[in-house]
Amino acid sequence: MAEMFHDDDADLSIIQSKTVAVIGYGSQGHAHALNLRDSGVNVVVGLREGSSSVARASEAGLSVKSVEEAVREGDVVTILAPDQVQAKVYEESIEPNLKPGAALLFAHGFNIHYGYIKPSADHDVIMVAPKGPGHVVRREFVAGRGVPVLVCVEQDASGQAWPLVLSYAKAIGGLRAGAIKTSFREETETDLFGEQNVLCGGLSKLIETGFEVLTEAGYQPEMAYFEVCHEMKMIVDLINEGGISKQRWSCSDTAEYGDYVSGPRVIDPHVKENMKAVLADIQDGTFAKKFMEDQAAGAPEFKKLRAQGEAHPIEATGRQIRALFAWSEDKDKDYHEGSVAR
C-alpha cells in the first residue's frame, strides 16, 4: 500500500516562513499561487513580459514580476510552465537567478525524469502534483476541502526536503484530502501511460471508432453521438462515485451482461500488448524525445494531428447536439473561442 500523509503530518509554518515564486499562472499556477497566499505564504508570480496572465494575477491581488525577478526572491521556485517550454525557461531565466539553496518544485516530473532540466546538487528538487485541474484545486480549497496530491523528493540537498514538500502540500489544500508518496519516475510514467492509453488517447479513439462503426452501418449520426459519447459522462461519474462495480450495478442487466461478454471482444489481448508497447516508449524516453523534437520544430505533427481530430465528423454532430442543452452552451462557446486563438 502507498504511504499517505494528511494535515497532521505537516507543519504549515515551514512554507509560511519562505517566499514562493510561482512561475506561470495557468491552470495549476493560479491555483497554487492563490491557495498559498490564502494560507499565509508570501507569493510572487513570475511571468514573461507581455503575458496575458499579468492582468489576471494582478487583479487577484498577487505580486507579479518578471520570471527573473521572481526567481531571485524565491526560497521555493514552483515551475508550472508547460512541459515543452520548461527547459528553455529554466536555462535562460531560472537557473542563473536561483538563490543558493533554493528549492525547485514541480507539479509533473517530465523534465526532471527525462533529463531536460538538470539542477545542480545544492537544490532540493521536489514535487506536489494535484490530481485534478487547477480550477478544481482552487474551488475545493475555497470550499474548505482539498484535491488529493502526489508528493515526492528527487533530490534532498538540504536534508529537510520532506518537511518542506509536506508543508507546501498542506498550504495548497492537498493534505485535507491526502497525499500519496511516490517518485518522479513513477508519477511521470504512470501519468503519461494513463493519458495515452486510457484517459485521452484510448477514450477518444474508442468514442470516434464507435461513432464510425454506427454511422457507416447506416445509423443516424445524432443517435450514434448519444450512444457512444453523450452518455459517457454518466458512466464515468458512476465509476468515480463507486468504482466499476457501482457502474455495473447502476446499469440494466442487459448492459451489464453485454459489458462482460462483449467488452473482452473489443479490448482483447492485442490491446494489452499495444499498451505495453506504449509504456515501453514512455519508459525509455522515446515518446518524450518525439514530443520535444516536434515542439522544438514548431509542432508541425502536433498541429496536424489536432486539426485532423477537430475535423472528425463526430465533432460537427456533437456541436449540434450540445446546442440542445442549455447547460452546455456556454462551455462549448468558451471552447470554440479559445480554439480559434490557439
Q: Is residue 194 marked as binding?
A: no
**CATH number (domain holding residue 159):** 3.40.50.720
Whether residues 143 and 216 share a domain: the answer is: no
Whether residues 11 and 113 share a domain: the answer is: yes
pLDDT computed for residue 2 by the predictor: 86
Predicted model pTM: 0.90
Q: Is residue 63 marked as binding?
A: no
pLDDT tens-digit profile of 195-229? 999 999 999 999 999 999 999 999 999 999 999 99
Range(s) of the domain holding residue 130 = 4-182
pLDDT computed for residue 324 by the predictor: 87
Domain for residue 191, yes or no? no
Whether residues 163 and 19 share a domain: the answer is: yes
- CA 39-44-48 angle, 5° bins: 140
What is the distance between the alpha carbons of residues 99 and 89, in angstroms, rounded to a whole number? 16
Whether residues 169 and 209 share a domain: the answer is: no
Q: Is residue 145 marked as binding?
A: no
Phi, psi of 49 (to 5 degrees): -60, 130
Using 50, 70 and 90 to split pLDDT, how confident is the model at 341?
very low
Q: What is the mean pLDDT of the chain?
A: 94
pLDDT computed for residue 323 by the predictor: 87
Whether residues 214 and 127 share a domain: the answer is: no
Domain for residue 275, yes or no? no
Three-state DSSP class for 22?
strand
- Region 250-255: mean pLDDT is 94
Domain for residue 329, yes or no? no
Q: Is residue 219 marked as binding?
A: no
Active site positions, annotated = 108
- Region 4-10: mean pLDDT is 97
Q: Is residue 53 marked as binding?
A: yes
What is the distance between the alpha carbons of residues 47 and 106, in angstroms, rounded to a whole number? 16
pLDDT tens-digit profile of 116-168? 999 999 999 999 999 999 999 999 999 999 999 999 999 999 999 999 999 99
Number of domains in the chain: 2
* pLDDT over threshold 90, residue 314: yes
Using 50, 70 and 90 to split pLDDT, how confident is the model at 336?
low
Whether residues 37 and 72 share a domain: the answer is: yes
* pLDDT over threshold 70, residue 30: yes
Whether residues 215 and 317 share a domain: the answer is: yes
Domain ends where: 182, 214, 239? 182
Domain for residue 331, yes or no? no
Q: Is residue 101 marked as binding?
A: no
User: By the 8 A CB rule, do 223 and 320 touch?
Assistant: no
- Region 100-108: mean pLDDT is 97
Give how far the C-alpha of residue 238 lies from the chain's centroid of Cα atoms, to the nearest Å: 22
Whether residues 164 and 39 share a domain: the answer is: yes
- Of 118, 77, 82, nearest to 101 by C-alpha is 77
Domain for residue 67, yes or no? yes
* pLDDT over threshold 60, residue 10: yes
Residue 72, H or E segment: helix 67-73
